[in-house]
Amino acid sequence: DPEVAAARIVKQRRGGVEKIRTLTEATRELAKRTRLERERYNKYYGVDYMNKKNYDLTIDTTRRSIDGVVKQILAFLKRKKHI
């Protein structure tokens, strides 16, 4: 969720590094960064890295705890018989 990502940037005070001070600035910069990264990945690798079909597992961490994410990863690995 782009709004959650922007809020995390502002909350973590990464503005000192990224010069982002408001939620609006963070949202705008994330959208710009995402667009530029998609263009670059497509240009150099011919891949849309935002396309979930390119991944075996994707996890929405918007409302998940670290423990919840770890449990989801472990469950996936067990289903695939990797552990």
CB contact set of 54 (below 8 Å; sequence gap of 6+):
47, 48
In this predicted model, what pLDDT tens digit does every residue of 64-74 receive, in sequence order?
A: 999 999 999 99
**Confidence band of 18 (pLDDT split at 50, 70, 90):** low
Query: Pick the residue with more confidence: 15 or 67?
Result: 67
DSSP string, the chain: -HHHHHHHHHHTTTHHHH---SHHHHHHHHHHHHHHHHHHHHHHHS--TT-GGG-S-----TT--HHHHHHHHHHHHHHTT--
Average pLDDT over residues 9-20: 69
